[in-house]
Amino acid sequence: MTASAERSPTLQLACDLIRRPSVTPVDADCQAQMMHRLGAVGFALEPMRIEDVDNFWATHGTQDGPVLCFAGHTDVVPTGPVQQWQHEPFDALIDADGMLCGRGAADMKGSLASMVVASERFVRDYPDHRGKVAFLITSDEEGPAHHGTKAVVERLKARNERLDWCIVGEPSSTDLLGDVVKNGRRGSLGATLTVRGKQGHVAYPHLARNPIHLAAAALAELAGEHWDEGNAFFPPTSFQISNLNAGTGATNVVPGELTALFNFRFSTESTVEGLQQRVAAILDRHQLDWSIDWALSGLPFLTEPGELLDAVAASIKQVTDRETRPSTSGGTSDGRFIATMGTQVVELGPVNATIHQVDERILASDLDLLTEIYYQTLVRLLA
């Protein structure tokens, strides 16, 4: 294991954060530590505890000029069975292969440490930088995400705060640091569909209406529907049924209801209203007695090539000599809330191979490279 004295400032801070067991929505004073560091170099600090969620907003600079925001979360997912880990999940150890091990190393305490150290260095080197450097940090990204970034963004909008660019520290890299940045995400629209029939005895099917039989053709049509073509940035919209439930548990009873859970991951080529209307038309065409509860987790967003993406790509090239690839793959992130402010949003962080897994780990040396990439991006945009 690497001795603490040999660790870089970024690595020391990452280890300190990992050692705090901040399982969502608990923050475990991670944000207090970050705010202490940022406050010491002149950031104005605004803690925002909303319900049971800790958040903070911090800024350095003036109202004039653009705003570059670093966004992220201090909460982590549960560890799962601790006995399955090679090391204690919150010990923040660096193994013989130079890997930083611990829950949150990749997702995303390593990125948080890199953001803080890069920003400390930048405001010391450029105390009169143009615009603002900002931080938007939550402890509610891995949970319901109701009282975290979404709620903070609503407050910022209400007072007409401006966010021009945002770097979210989600682990975007696939094989090597910086090989992929996320410049958008698909929308996520979930639904709980109920199809009603009539319960009865299987021996007397003429006295019952089986909702499984009734719904089967409609569900098959939904699964086979071509929703859109996608575009240059997004794959075609996908539809997936994730759960079907019906019956009483007995083999001789026709169920009275069927419940189906399904989800759209949709591109900017489709709208929520359009998808909902097309689903209703298919269900009606099959003459079903149905009802549906929709749940929108987030709208799709896209940051096209421009100032932010160009600055990030140039910084990655400078630091790693790698050409980065923009991608909109993967699930949702808090970037979906920030994008509603008209903000250019990208996600840039460590390799994501072990996120949410037992023995989460990243290459420790990558964090110093990530710090330098963040710093050079600050220089390009605000110096």
Instruction: Looking at 136-252, list the stretches that DSSP marks H as alpha helix, in order from N- to C-terminal side.
Output: 149-158, 211-224
Q: Which residue has the tokens 């989460």?
A: 360
| Pairwise CA distance, residues 331 & 356, whole Å | 13
Catalytically annotated residue among 27, 54, 75, 140 = 75
211, 256 contact by CB (below 8 A)? yes
Residue (of 360, 362, 350) closest to 85 by Cα position: 360
Instruction: Give residue 17's Cα distance to chain centre.
Output: 19
To 5 degrees, how large is the angle CA 367–CA 369–CA 375? Answer: 105
Question: Active-site residue 75, yes or no?
Answer: yes
Give the gyration radius of the chain's Cα atoms.
24
Residue (of 303, 331, 167, 314) closest to 240 by Cα position: 331
Q: Which residue has the tokens 């319960």?
A: 199
Catalytically annotated residue among 107, 141, 161, 164 = 141
φ/ψ of residue 214, rounded to 5: -65, -40
Cα→Cα distances 283→193, 208, 228, 273, Å: 10, 20, 19, 16
Mark 256-283 as b/e (b = at least 16 C-beta within 10 Å): bbbebebbbbbbbebeeeebbeebeebb
Q: Which residues are catalytic?
A: 75, 141
